Chain A
Amino acid sequence: MADSETTTRSQIVVETRGLKKTYFGKVETPVLHGIDIQVQAGEFIAIIGQSGSGKSTLLNILGALDVPTEGTVLIDGVDIATLSEDDLAALRNRVIGFVFQFHYLLDELSCLENALTPITICKGEASEDEKSYVLALLDRVGLAEQINKHPDAMSGGQNQRCAIIRALANQPKIVLADEPTGNLDSRSGNEVFNIMREMNREKGAAFIMVTHDDRLAQEADRILAIEDGWVHEIDKREHRMKLISSLNDS
């Protein structure tokens, strides 16, 4: 029992305890009221919720881009509150990969150079091994022909695929995706999602994906819903029934 718990604990890559976030602007705006979640290594989690429910805020805190007002965040077992700014940058570089709604690739760099950015930021230059690893990933998502093209010469779907490979370049334990398909037509969106799911299974990285798309959420291992700053897990079967009934309605 004790052994199995140790094993489980060591496989938790993201954990929050009593996480609260309040924005102190002209008026005090509490966004997250106390979030407790655990994400296991290799899990694919979908976070759903209304606009303004705090999904992106949670994701930013999990990505060490923002700090909680209260509570603890453990990323790969490390309490991020104890880290300096440079340590946080290093954590984001090696442990976490980001995919955003917009690809945010650098126009000045080619597809391959963009995908290698996390490595070059950290080491200055990618080794031959790292390059062939990334090239293989790019080939895997159908970008072999595009490696020397710049973002403005590629389609939205291609750019987003390149952004996913960039997120995976440093072989992170966690990939955070903030509505990665939100800016794509449904066909490209499906492709991008399928790639993420495949990468999740092949590379063993945990994926936490914020999405509006209930259909994509259904494909995840677990679904977390954020409502008014509180989080609760949704039973996938219930979610499936709701999905089918809403499809029948339309």
Chain B
Amino acid sequence: MKSSLSWIPLNWRFEARLALRYLMTGGGQTLLTIGSVAAGVIVIVFLTSLIFGIRAKLTKMLTESMPHVTVKVRDLEPVPLSEIQDLDSAMSSSRIEKKAPQLKFIDDWQHAIDTIRTVPNVRMALPAIQGQGFASKGGNPIGVSVTGADPSQQDQVSPVTKDLIAGKYVGLAADEVVIDYELAKDLSVSIGDRIRMTSSTGNTEPLSIAGIYSRGQGRGGAYVTLRTGQSLFGMGNSVNVILVKVNDLFGSDEVADRIQSLLPYEARSWSREYPSFVSSLTVQSASAYLISAFSLIASSFAIASVLIVSVLQKSKQIGILKSIGAKRSQILRVFTLEGLIIALAGSLAGAALGSLLVFLLSLPLQKTARPGHVPDQLFPVAILPVYIFGAVIAAIIATVIAAWFPAKRAASMNPVDVMR
């Protein structure tokens, strides 16, 4: 009866022993309260893993194939004539037009890349050519966006190799191109066939198809080497864009701002390109937190009501304890400890069961898959230790608060009243 609790300080030992005995003899009542804590934690673990799993998957789908920050030459902002000319001696105009879009060069891109690499959170920076062109094979030309970049580096910004269905991308020759599966279908071409690529600046190059890829997201574009891109768009040794990848996706805005302050170019982050996507992610996480909070509140109420009944059932015992010298604080401790033990047992059981549930849910795969790829998970859930830990801590706090009120009530019972 003694040894098992000898690690508990003497002034807590009586309370701890009594709380444990109450729980052990409580049977169904104890299981009910532990179960309701566990249920709350299971809901949180399951919900956060699902919502944050979906969020991670969507974000990955969207951002893995795009640069996180794109650095370009700044478009000239339209400025009213009145601001740049002396009004008295000039005509004024009410019509303000942007200059017609045109390819703009980043001549000092080596220096720009060195500068960008000094910005914290930047993983890599890739010089590239991006532009519009037409691909044709005898028949009508089909519009296609063209990217010219070093293949092995491009694979780290917008992976092509991993989406290849046939052929190769890394090791691309100057007269070769990798095109999208849909485009290949429309052009009726396969590996080794030759197509003509005409850029928006009018240059034409004959290219042979070295690879075909599919991202399963509608029609993609064409990839050539940096050299070929430069000659297609007549850029000499310049590039027109620097593609940046960062480590922390949601820090892209800061990276873009920093680059813009260091270089005379425009830097745009993915999150500013897709503000509605980012806000829908925020709404999703907010609802996950809200539902988690409500499930905790619901289980706290359940625990509080069971403990209130248990305190009422024990009122005579509480009376006798007080009459033989138990202090108010000791009674408070007994019932708060009871709550704490329920909280620990319930939240740990909930975390284990919730993780098991998430694991089982991660097993089934989608029935359909992209050509040449393994099917994705049907439910994009992920076991997230941070949220499981958070759920356990939150549940323990909520349960102890729920136990506090009945404990306070027990502590303030008057022995003369309850033993009458």
> Which residues of A are interface residues toward B (Cβ below 8 A)?
60, 63, 65-66, 85-86, 89-94, 97-98, 100, 102, 104, 106-110, 113, 117-118, 120-125, 166-167
Partner of A125, one of B13, B326, B330: B13
B415, A65: Cβ atoms closer than 8 Å: yes
A104, B12: Cβ atoms closer than 8 Å: no
B327, A124: Cβ atoms closer than 8 Å: no
Partner of B10, one of A89, A107, A124, A167: A124
A123, B18: Cβ atoms closer than 8 Å: no
B25, A107: Cβ atoms closer than 8 Å: yes
Bits for B293-316, please: 1 = Cβ < 8 Å to A, else 0.
000000000000000000000001
Which residue in chain A gives the minimum CB-CB distance to B19? A108
**Distance in angstroms between the alpha carbons of A125 and B321 in the assembled complex:** 16
Partner of B419, one of A94, A100, A108: A100
Bits for B319-333, please: 1 = Cβ < 8 Å to A, else 0.
111111111111000
B94 at the binding interface (Cβ < 8 Å):
no
Would you give 25 A-B contacts (Cβ < 8 Å), ordered by A? A65-B415, A65-B416, A66-B416, A86-B329, A89-B325, A89-B326, A89-B328, A90-B325, A92-B322, A92-B323, A94-B325, A104-B316, A106-B18, A108-B24, A109-B18, A117-B321, A118-B324, A121-B321, A121-B325, A121-B326, A122-B325, A124-B10, A124-B13, A124-B14, A125-B10
For A121, the chain B residues whose CB sits under 8 A away are 14, 321, 324-326, 330
Partner of B324, one of A92, A110, A124: A92
**Distance in angstroms between the alpha carbons of A107 and B404 in the assembled complex:** 23
Which residue in chain A gives the minimum CB-CB distance to B8? A124
For B419, the chain A residues whose CB sits under 8 A away are 100, 104
**Distance in angstroms between the alpha carbons of A121 and B13 in the assembled complex:** 9
B25, A120: Cβ atoms closer than 8 Å: no
B118 at the binding interface (Cβ < 8 Å):
no
Which residue in chain B gives the minimum CB-CB distance to A148? B1
Which residue in chain A gives the minimum CB-CB distance to B10? A124
A166, B13: Cβ atoms closer than 8 Å: no
Where chain B touches its partner, the secondary structure class is helix
For A123, the chain B residues whose CB sits under 8 A away are 10
Partner of A92, one of B18, B325, B416: B325
**Distance in angstroms between the alpha carbons of A167 and B328 in the assembled complex:** 20
B416, A89: Cβ atoms closer than 8 Å: no
A108, B22: Cβ atoms closer than 8 Å: yes
B370 at the binding interface (Cβ < 8 Å):
no
Partner of A120, one of B9, B14, B319: B14
A104, B326: Cβ atoms closer than 8 Å: no
B152 at the binding interface (Cβ < 8 Å):
no
For B85, the chain A residues whose CB sits under 8 A away are none
A93, B325: Cβ atoms closer than 8 Å: yes
For A110, the chain B residues whose CB sits under 8 A away are 1
B366 at the binding interface (Cβ < 8 Å):
no
For A93, the chain B residues whose CB sits under 8 A away are 324-326
A113, B14: Cβ atoms closer than 8 Å: no
Give the shortest distance, in Å, between A91 (CB) and chain B (any CB): 8
For A85, the chain B residues whose CB sits under 8 A away are 327-328
A98, B22: Cβ atoms closer than 8 Å: no
For B415, the chain A residues whose CB sits under 8 A away are 65
For B316, the chain A residues whose CB sits under 8 A away are 102, 104
Partner of B2, one of A89, A109, A125: A125
Give the shortest distance, in Å, between A58 (CB) and chain B (any CB): 12
B317, A89: Cβ atoms closer than 8 Å: no
Give the shortest distance, in Å, between A99 (CB) and chain B (any CB): 10
For B11, the chain A residues whose CB sits under 8 A away are 124
Partner of B327, one of A63, A86, A102, A113: A86
**Distance in angstroms between the alpha carbons of A94 and B326 in the assembled complex:** 11
**Distance in angstroms between the alpha carbons of A99 and B329 in the assembled complex:** 24
B162 at the binding interface (Cβ < 8 Å):
no
For B22, the chain A residues whose CB sits under 8 A away are 108
For A89, the chain B residues whose CB sits under 8 A away are 322, 325-328
For A86, the chain B residues whose CB sits under 8 A away are 327-329
B258 at the binding interface (Cβ < 8 Å):
no
**Distance in angstroms between the alpha carbons of A90 and B328 in the assembled complex:** 11
B21 at the binding interface (Cβ < 8 Å):
yes
Partner of A98, one of B12, B21, B324, B329: B324
Most-contacted residue by chain A among B324, B330, B416 (CB, 10 A): B324
For A60, the chain B residues whose CB sits under 8 A away are 416
A104, B319: Cβ atoms closer than 8 Å: yes
Which residue in chain A gives the minimum CB-CB distance to B329? A86
Which residue in chain A gives the minimum CB-CB distance to B326? A121
For B12, the chain A residues whose CB sits under 8 A away are 124
A100, B1: Cβ atoms closer than 8 Å: no
Bits for B216-257, please: 1 = Cβ < 8 Å to A, else 0.
000000000000000000000000000000000000000000
